[in-house]
Structure formats: structure tokens, C-alpha cells
Amino acid sequence: MPAPRFPLAAALAGALCAALGSCAPQAAAPGTVQSSTPLTRASFYPQETGLAWAYLPEGEVAGGAPYMVQNLGPTLFGGEAVSATRMTGRGADQTWYRVTDAQGVKLLGIRKPGVTVRLQPAWLEYPAPDAWRAGLTWQGQSQVSLVADDGTVKGSGTLSYSYLVQERRTVSTPGGRFDVWVVTRQISDTVGGLFPATQQLWFTPFVGEVRTPEGLLLTERNFAPRSGGQP
């Protein structure tokens, strides 16, 4: 699989200098005080702080501005220790709050500008790592609360979900060639249809979602595959 290709700022700057023939010398700008998190190879369900993915809508002409998904790291949500993951780009701004344990990946809530979606009990998005197989199903139900920034409850209801692992197959995207689990999920709720009723996603262990439920395909990521190839 090709090595991860972003960030691309340095490569683009070099290409621009080459195209112009030279770059005029400039005085060095003073440094800024910043922090960074060293990237590591991802776990089965990638949750390490700093991991990032770029996506484009399936069927769109290549070269458009991507949606960016980044793991922000540990935080608190409703008093519970969780891991936050944020999507930005093209006007999108959404943060998911999850817990990953021996049972799988659980979604406790979602944050959008002006509103927070809370789920009780948490929504099981992915099963235990050793449970994956074609034909696997799981389902559940959560109470949903829509809470405004001022604490006002704007709506509440029930969300029901079910998943089916259809098959395992090899796919190619601009981000590489992947061995994916093809999963169909079905959702219904009583709070105005927060999610499309039926969606398909592709998941690859140690990589993450190759196709998101929103129909976005992986184009790049900032971490390398595991040594010896992907499972």
C-alpha cells in the first residue's frame, strides 16, 4: 500500500519554488509556542490522539476540498472519560464522543454547532475485535436528547439501530487498496430522522472507515499501515 501522503504543505511549497525558478531569501520568522503528539501505528479501532483521515464523496471528481477527520484525544462528555473525533471541511463541524473497550466501540454523543446529541445507553457502533465475521449482527436502542448550548432540551425520543456484516472483500480508493468488512446499518428514530434510514460502511482494522456511513471514501491518512500488511 502506498505510504500516507499528507500533510502536503512542504511538497507544494517546493514545487512552487521550482516552477518560479527560485525563491527569494526571506528573514526567518520567529517561532511560535506549539505542542504536538507523536503519531503511532493505530490500534484495531484507531483511537490514538493525532490520527487523521481525509475523505471525498464517492463519485465526485477528484481534487476537491476534502473532509478532514481527526482524533482529538481524551476528554469528558457528560462526566465520562471519552475520546473525541472531529470532522471539518466544506462547512461541516461535528464531533463524536466514544468509548472503546473489550465490547467494542460505543458512541455516547455528538456535538454540532449549537446542539449536543446525547445517547443513553451508548450506541454500539462496532463489536468486540474478535467478533468480526460475515453474517454477524447486532442491534440496540438508545434514548436521545437534543440539548442546546444554554442547556435547554430541544427534543427527545428513541433511536433504534441494527447492523449486518455482509462480507469481507478487497476495495481500492484514492487512499490505497484495502481488505474491508462491508457493513449495512439501519436506523430509525422518533426525533425527526437524525440519520438516514439505511447506510453502508466499509471498515478495515488498524485503518478505520474506508467508506463512511455518509458515503465518503478515504483518500489519505497520516499514519502508516502495520508492518507485514493489513489484516
Q: What angle do CA 178, 182, 188 make, to 5 degrees?
A: 140
Nearest to 120 by CA among 151, 146, 84, 85: 146
Q: What angle do CA 5, 211, 191 make, to 5 degrees?
A: 130
In this predicted structure, the answer to whether residue 193 has a pLDDT above a threshold of 90 is no
What phi and psi values does residue 15 have, to the nearest 5 degrees?
-65, -35
Mean pLDDT score, 53-77: 96
Q: How far apart are CA 231 and CA 228, in angstroms?
A: 9
Q: How far apart are CA 71 and CA 30, in angstroms?
A: 29
More confident residue, 198 or 120: 120
Q: Rg for the chain (alpha carbons), in Å?
A: 20
Mean pLDDT score, 57-75: 95
Helix/strand/coil for 129: helix
CB atoms near residue 94 (< 10 Å): 16
- Element housing 212 (H / E): none
- Predicted pLDDT at 59: 92
- Predicted pLDDT at 27: 56
Hey, CA dihedral for 175, 177, 180, 186, is it positive or negative?
A: positive
- Beta pairing partners, 167: 182
In this predicted structure, the answer to whether residue 16 has a pLDDT above a threshold of 50 is no
> Using one digit for the tens of pLDDT, what is the confidence trace for 139-155?
999 999 999 999 999 99
Q: pLDDT class for 29, splitting at 50, 70, 90?
A: low
